[in-house]
Structure 1
Amino acid sequence: MANATWERLFAQTPVKSTTQPPEISDRAYKPAFVLQTYLIGIVIAICGNFLISISLNIQKYTHMRQAQSGSKPYYTSSLWWCGIALMGIGELGNFAAYGFAPASLIAPLGCVSVIASAVISVVFLKETLRASDILGGALAVTGTYLLVTFAPHTVQHITAHLIQMYAVSWQFLVYLGLEIVLFCVLLYLYKRRNIKHVVVLLLLVALLASQTVISVKAVSGMIAESVEGNMQLTFPIFYVMIVVMVASCGFQIKFLNQSMKLFNATEVVPINFVFFTASAILAGIVFYQEFYGLAMLNIFMFLFGCLLSFVGVFLIARNRPKIKTDRPFIDMGQVPGRRCTDKVQPESTNITYGSLTGDAIQLQAKGEQTESSV
C-alpha cells in the first residue's frame, strides 16, 4: 500500500527536464526506477550520518577517558581509531548518496547526525536531557520528513557530457562569478581587515561547500554510471571535478578549524549546518537544475522542512553544557621569589598562587592603598 502511494507520487511529479541530453532519458523517468534509486540515496545518507554521530561520540568518550586517567594520548587508543574508521565509512556513505539522490536533499539530511549525536550523548555519555533537546529533535524529525516527501524526485544519470553542458550554462557562470567576488571580499575582510567573526568564516566555508557538493555529485554520479557499464572515467571533466572536490574540501577544513579555535562549538555547529545546507541546495538548483518543473507547493513545503530542521538543530546545539572532567593536578613546587602551595591543571595557563611571602603581601597592600588614593 505504501509503495503504491509512493509510486503514484513519483508518477505525478514532473521530473523530465528539457535541458537534459537525449542519451540519458531512457531510464530516468520510469517511476519504479526513480523510486528505487531515490530511496537508496536517502537510506545511504541517513545511515552515513548515523555512523558519523556514533563516531563523534566515540571520540568524545575517548577524550573524556584520557583526560580523567591522564594516561597515554588519545591517538594511541584503539577505540579512538574505531571512531575515525566509522567517520570514514559515514562520509563515504554520504559521498555515495549524492550519486543516487538530488544534492538538495542529501545535504539537509545532515541534521540526522545532530539528532542522533544528541540522543547518544544523553543515553551513553550521561549528558543532561533538556526540554530544548526534545523540542529541537521533534522539529528536526518533522523537517526531515517534509524534506524527503517534497524534495525534487529527479534521478539524473550523471555523465561527462551532462556535466560539461551544465558547467558552461549561463546561470552557473553567473552564480560562479558572484561566488568568486563574495569569496574575495570575505577573504579580504578576514585577512587584511582582521575581522574574525563567526559569520565571515562560515560564509567562506559555505561558498567552498557549494563547489564541493557540485564536484562530489559529479564524481559520484560518473563512478556510478561507469559501474553500470557506461564508462565515464576516461573523460577529462571527471579528473577536473576530482581536483575541485579535493581543493574545496581542504580549504573548507582549514576555515572550519579556524572557526572552531575562535568560537564555541555551540555557535559553529548550527550556523555551519544552516550555511552548508543553504549552499548545497542553491548549488543543486543552479547547477543540476533540480527544481526544474517542481510544483510551487512542493517548493514551499521543502523550504519549510529546511526551516524546521534549522530551528531544530539550533535548539539542540544552543547552550549545551560542557562535559566536566576531573583532570589530574601537578604540583608546581617552588617558584623563584614566591612560595607556591597551589596546584594547576595540565594545559592551563592560569596559575593561581597560594600564600605569598611577607614582602609580597606588603607590596600588594601598598599597591591597593595607592590605587584607592588615586
Structure 2
Amino acid sequence: MGNKGSIAFLPENVTDTHANSTGISSVWNDSHQAQILGIILSILGSFLISISLNLQKYTHIRLAMKQDPLPYYKSKLWWCGVLLMGIGELGNFAAYGFAPATLIAPLGCVAVIGSAAISVLFLKESLRASDVIGGTLAVTGTYLLVTFSPNVSQDITALKVERFVVSWQFLVYLVLEVIIFCVLLYLYKRRGVNHIVVLLLLVAMLASVAVISVKAVAGMITMTFKGDMQLTYAIFYVMAVAMVASCVFQVKFLNQAMQLYNATEVVPINYVFFTTSAILAGIIFYQEFRDAGLLNIFMFIFGCLLSFLGVFLIARNQEKSTFQEPYINFGEIPGMETVDKIQPNANSITYGTLLNE
C-alpha cells in the first residue's frame, strides 16, 4: 500500500523533471529515427544513380559496337537507366527533409563507390589497387560521417525558414557569396578565364543555394504530409524558384567544365567543392552544428577528408580521352550533380560521376 501511494507524495518538481526528461527523450528518438531514414534514402538514391549511369554507359557501348546503331534514346535499356536516375534523385531530394544537409551532401560519395563497383562486376572493367584503397577510405569516411553527424531537429517549417533567411549570419554569408560569384562570373565571361577551379567554384556557389532551397522545400513538403500545411506560405514558392534556377545554372556550368576537362579532374574537385559548400550552407543557414561537441566536429571533418581522399583515388587513374569527338552530356539536379560523358567511338569512351545531390 505504501509503495502504491508514494507516487502521490513526490514533490512537484520531481514529477515535472521526469516528464521533461521523457519528453526530451521522445523528441531525440524521433529526430534520430528521421535522420536514419534520411541516411537510408540518400544511400539508396545514390546507389540507384550509380546503377543508372552504368546502364546508360552499357547502352552506349553496345550501340556503338553495332554496324547500324539506333539512336540511344530509342533503347529501352537507356530509358530504364533514366527512370532509375529519376527515382534515385527523388530519394536524394526526400533525404533532405529528414536529415541534416551537412550529412546528406557528403553521402554523395556512395554514388562514386557504387559506380566503380558496378563497372568492375558487370562491365568487366579492371580493378585497380587505387579503387580498393579509395573505396575503403570512402566507406570509412561515410561511417564516420553517419556516426558523428549533428543530431538536430529536422522539422523545417515556413516560419523557421523565414527566420533563417533574415538571420545576420546568413545575410553576411549571402553578401560574400554574391560578391565572389560576380567576380568569378566576370573572370569567366569577360576575361575568358575558364580554369577548372573557376568553373567548379561557380558550381559550388550555386550548390549552396541549391542545398538550402532543396532542404527548405523538402522539409516543408514533409511537414505538410505530417498534417502541418506549409504550402500556403510565400516562402515555399520563393525557395522552389531558387531551387530550380540554381540547379539549372549549376548543370550548365558543370557541363561546360566537362567539355573542357576530363572527368578524372572534374569528379573529385567538384565533389570536394560541392560538399564543402553544402556543409557551410547547413552550418550557417540551418545552424546544424550549433550544439555539437568538439569531438563530433573533429571526427565529422575527418570523415569528410577520408571521403574526399577516397573519391580522388577512385577517379585518379581513369583513362583520359585523347579524342575530341562530339559527346553527349546527361545532367541532373540537387545533391547529385551527375554527368555521363560518352564518346560515340566505342574505343574512346570516358565516363564520370560528378557529385552534389
TM-score, normalised to structure 1, is 0.79
Q: State the aligned residue count.
A: 304
Cα distance in 2, alignment partners of residues 80 and 106 from structure 1? 27
Instruction: For 1:52, give the aligned amino acid.
Output: I
Equivalent residue for 1:228, pick from 217, 226, 229: 226
Verify the 8 A CA contact 1:28 1:34 in the aligned structure 2.
no
Q: Choose 1 or 2 for highest CA Rg.
A: 1
Q: Which residue of 2 aligns with 1:76?
A: 74
Verify the 8 A CA contact 2:38 2:98 in the aligned structure 1.
yes
Q: CA deviation at 1:187?
A: 0.5
Cα distance in 2, alignment partners of residues 176 and 323 from structure 1? 39
Q: Which residue of 2 aligns with 1:301?
A: 299
1:144-169 deviation per Cα after TM superposition (whole angstroms, max 9, x unaligned): 00000000011221111000000000
Cα distance in 2, alignment partners of residues 29 and 245 from structure 1? 33
Equivalent residue for 2:87, pick from 89, 95, 104: 89
Q: Which residue of 2 aligns with 1:150?
A: 148
Q: Which residue of 2 aligns with 1:30?
A: 27
Instruction: For 1:137, give the aligned amino acid.
Output: G
* C-alpha spacing 1:147/1:347, structure 2 compared with 1 (3 Å): closer
Q: CA deviation at 1:322?
A: 5.9
* C-alpha spacing 1:157/1:28, structure 2 compared with 1 (3 Å): farther
**Counterparts of 1:262-277 in structure 2 under 5 Å?**
262-277=260-275
1:287-343 deviation per Cα after TM superposition (whole angstroms, max 9, x unaligned): 00000010011000000000000000000011212699xxxxxxxxxxxxxxxxxxx
Q: CA deviation at 1:31?
A: 2.4
1:112-141 deviation per Cα after TM superposition (whole angstroms, max 9, x unaligned): 000000000011111111000000000000
**Counterparts of 1:1-374 in structure 2 under 5 Å?**
30-70=27-67, 71-321=69-319
For the residue of structure 2 that corresponds to 1:69, the secondary structure is: coil
* C-alpha spacing 1:346/1:146, structure 2 compared with 1 (3 Å): closer
Verify the 8 A CA contact 1:28 1:156 in the aligned structure 2.
no
Q: Which residue of 2 aligns with 1:337?
A: none
Percent sequence identity over aligned pairs: 69
Cα distance in 2, alignment partners of residues 194 and 128 from structure 1? 39
Instruction: For 2:49, give the aligned amino acid.
Output: I
Verify the 8 A CA contact 1:143 1:304 in the aligned structure 2.
yes
Verify the 8 A CA contact 1:28 1:157 in the aligned structure 2.
no
Post-superposition, which runs of at least 4 consecutive aligned residues in structure 1 deviate over 6 A?
A: 26-29, 345-348
Q: CA deviation at 1:36?
A: 1.1
For the residue of structure 1 that corresponds to 2:65, the secondary structure is: helix
* C-alpha spacing 1:58/1:239, structure 2 compared with 1 (3 Å): same
Instruction: For 1:268, give the aligned amino acid.
Output: V
Verify the 8 A CA contact 2:264 2:320 in the aligned structure 1.
no
Instruction: For 2:271, give the aligned amino acid.
Output: F
Cα distance in 2, alignment partners of residues 133 and 311 from structure 1? 11
Cα distance in 2, alignment partners of residues 85 and 201 from structure 1? 29
Q: Which residue of 2 aligns with 1:13?
A: none
Cα distance in 2, alignment partners of residues 268 and 247 from structure 1? 22
TM-score, normalised to structure 2, is 0.82
Instruction: For 2:56, give the aligned amino acid.
Output: Q
* C-alpha spacing 1:86/1:346, structure 2 compared with 1 (3 Å): closer
Q: CA deviation at 1:27?
A: 7.9
1:22-60 deviation per Cα after TM superposition (whole angstroms, max 9, x unaligned): xxxx88972221221111000000000000000010011
Q: Where do 5+ consecutive residues of structure 1 fail to align?
A: 1-25, 325-344, 349-374
